[in-house]
Amino acid sequence: MSSGPESLEDAGHLVGVPDEFQRLWTPHRMAYIQAGPEPLREECPFCEAPKFPDAERLIVARGETAYVLLNLFPYNSGHMLVCPYRHIATYDQATAEEVTEIGELTQTAMRVLREVSRCDGFNLGMNQGAVAGAGVDAHLHQHVVPRWTSDANFFPIIAKTKALPQLLGEVRDAVAHAWPR
């Protein structure tokens, strides 16, 4: 890319659930993250992320049994994942405590996104197993995707590309700052 004030951040260490879309990061004259193909990993990204400082792995909030982070491959700005710390693959393996906290963190994520981004609606969901679309199928994660009336555009249909108007680091800072402590 150009040699202006922008800097390119290596996304190889960040956590995400890859899909078929490419991302077009649209802020002008700002640093962006090059989210290339999911790097080959030996270790589980959702087990690794909590070992690092929040901002380094896009972590938004930490609970007792589960935590929240931004998806490196967002469908929309603010796309979060709620994960148990424990490496379990499916929802029925979660303990009562984990189910409760995943639910509470999901509710808080919705409230924070509503406040920070004024979204109009949400998609919530868990893909269970690779056959059901889970990009990281070995470690349970709940998607929280904010939706706006105007968020659908033609890119995903014709080019398998999503236009994202905000940078991941900025989104993380805004959401983490608004998260009730």
Q: Is 47 in the site for Zn ion (CB under 5 A)?
A: yes
Query: What's the rounded Cα separation, in Å, for the pair 50 and 108?
Result: 19
Nearer to Zn ion, 15 or 80 (CB): 15
Residue 117 beta carbon to Zn ion: minimum distance, rounded to whole angstroms: 28
Nearer to Zn ion, 15 or 174 (CB): 15
Pull the structure tokens for residue 87. 């490496």
Nearer to Zn ion, 97 or 115 (CB): 97
143 known member of a binding site: yes
Q: Which stretch binds Zn ion (CB under 5 A): 47-55, 74-82, 118-126, 148-156?
A: 47-55
Q: Is 139 in the site for Zn ion (CB under 5 A)?
A: yes
Q: Which stretch binds Zn ion (CB under 5 A): 40-48, 89-97, 110-118, 162-170?
A: 40-48
Active site residue 141: yes
Among 11, 15, 32, 46, binds Zn ion (CB under 5 A): 46
Q: Is 41 in the site for Zn ion (CB under 5 A)?
A: no
Q: Is 85 in the site for Zn ion (CB under 5 A)?
A: no
What is the three-state SS of the chain?
Answer: CCCCCCCEEECCCCCCCCCCCEEEECCCCCCEEECCCCCCCCCCHHHHHHHCCHHHHCEEEECCCEEEEECCCCCCCCCEEEEECCCCCCHHHCCHHHHHHHHHHHHHHHHHHHHHHCCCEEEEECCCCHHHCCCCCCCCCEEEEEECCCCCCCHHHHHCEEEECCCHHHHHHHHHHHCCC
Residues in the site for Zn ion, rule: CB under 5 A?
Answer: 44, 46-47, 87, 139
Residues annotated in a binding site for substrate:
71, 133-136, 143
Q: Which residues are identified as catalytic? A: 141
